[in-house]
Chain A
Amino acid sequence: MTLLGLTSIPGLVVATILEAAGYTPSKVINKITGIDLNGIKIGAKPALEARSSELGSILSNYDVCCLCEVWTQDSRDRILNDLDSRMWESAAGPDESGAFILNSSGLFFLAKNRQIVKTERMIYSDRGSKNRDTDAWSNKGAMLNIIDLGFGQFELFQTHLCFGGGIKDNVPVSTPGISDPTDEDRMNVWHAELAELADFYRSHHQPQNVAIITGDFNMNGTNVREYAEIRRVMDSLGLWDLWAWDVYDHHPSEGLTCRFTDGDESNWIRNFDTQCDYLPGPQDQQYCDDRTFIPAPKTKPPQGVGRYDFLFAQNPTSAHQYNLEVSRILRRPFPRAHPSDGESYLSDHLGLDVTLYLSPR
């Protein structure tokens, strides 16, 4: 196995004998610890099929959607079922092909009444470690879709970066070699992935087009070090964090985009009450009150809760064929009309809802 780290050990002879006798490492570990390494099970998220079936009608109100965590063809089909195939085009990100890969990139792009003229895909080469990070079992990466505007082409890059961890939580007892990533481990992976994202952007971006980059970066805008790293890369590409534009009096450390749903299900938070002051209005049009300064919560949000979802827009340049203007980003919770399996919302994340205005120069 070239994938594997080979340790130099004095017991190699024992190992060779055991292997020849038909004892796999999993069997030995299972015998000693009772842990079945062949079957670490990670449960499906609640109301999976119902929620994916409900998404299509919600998304039909949009013109362009950049989605993360649409992992399977079944979920994509359920979404598309409620979208008029004469109006909508779609593109999925990198699939689940490859050795020891269980999941696709989860990236999914939808465009209404706009032709997707080009799609490019990329898988991050560093997705963490398979004994540590569930992300390493997926093909997380980035996707570019270019849509035609008539007077130019608009580039929409989307990504979902590694978060790390998830293996140790599902192993019943402490096991050598199975650990959670440290902050440093995570930063190293993000550093590599952001560099690859930047390379992907530079490889495909055309100067006459305006570009945006969006998605779940799994890096927390409320963490100074993580946000500074994102901005270091995005600033170098000439891309601007629209949430943090000072005309809105927002702050990078505010505007959390998800609730806590890690680990033991009994500890999950089932609503967005601590992330979102709901604006008055009908439930199916629910938005967060994102007008201005949002006081930081007195207690620090747990790991796994933060501002992970971003929308960066390229700064205007003289080479652009057209202008891009944007409305204020509103975070949107998407409550379900008929909650099931304890899920009152379509996702554990808030959507970033914005209107884009593209005008020829």
Chain B
Amino acid sequence: MTQSYSLKEVRAALEPVADWQPKGMRELARRLRWEQGWQGAGPLSYRNLKRTVGGDTLRQTLRAIDNGNPPKSLRQAYERLGFPPGGGVTRLPDGPISLRSIARRIQAPETVRLKFLSYNTYLLQGLQIPLGAGLTMRSVGMHSLGSAYRSAEHF
């Protein structure tokens, strides 16, 4: 028996807020992680560069990278920063992609769906750090009573 899939449900699964859901098939397909495709970080654009280093004009943006010796091109700016955006846009694999192949990954009965949370819970209890516990007279290097101690790299 053939499994039937709902495009609407696939969209909703990948994009939880209705207004933001991908409109067309191509946009939907780009939301999947294809082995023969490429997940991109965005184009080599001024917009991306400006979002990274600020500035209201290209001149200001390039000078924000190095005021004394600003880069002379967008490519040079990205190279100077060593910054990943600009590495290319998301590419789909060559050849046709069927709706079924998309939907299967999300909606097939055997697909495991895990609602996942990564969270720093901020549950630090009070601490009393016994800095003195790691000190000996030799380690702190007493010169005199007026020089409480020399810095110890590691207590």
Q: Which residues in A have some Cβ–Cβ distance to B below 8 Å?
A: 1, 3-12, 14-16, 18-19, 23-26, 28-29, 32-33, 36-45, 48, 51-52, 55, 59, 61-72, 74-75, 100, 102-103, 106, 108, 114, 129-131, 134, 137, 149-151, 158, 160, 167, 170, 175-179, 214-216, 224-225, 227-228, 231-232, 235, 240-241, 244-247, 251-254, 257-258, 261, 279, 287, 291-293, 296, 308-309, 311, 313, 315-318, 320, 323-328, 330, 332, 334, 346-349, 351-360
Contacts and interface: CB of A to CB of B under 8 A. Distances in A.
B140 to A, nearest CB: 5
Nearest to B142: A15
Contacts of B105: 323, 325, 357, 359
Nearest to A68: B120
Interface in B23-43: 27, 30-35, 39-43
Contacts of A64: 114-117
Contacts of A261: 122
B125 A44 contact: yes
25 contacts: A5-B139, A7-B152, A14-B144, A28-B137, A28-B142, A32-B145, A42-B128, A44-B124, A69-B123, A71-B124, A72-B125, A75-B121, A100-B134, A106-B123, A158-B118, A177-B150, A214-B118, A224-B83, A293-B51, A316-B34, A320-B35, A325-B105, A347-B120, A352-B119, A359-B105
B138 interface: yes
Contact of A177 (B13, B30, B123, B152): B152
Nearest to A19: B137
Contact of A129 (B34, B110, B143, B155): B155
A23 B31 CA distance: 67
B142 to A, nearest CB: 4
B148 A176 contact: yes
Contacts of A114: 114
A176 B150 contact: yes
A59 B119 CA distance: 10
A178 B152 CA distance: 9
A247 B30 contact: yes
A319 to B, nearest CB: 10
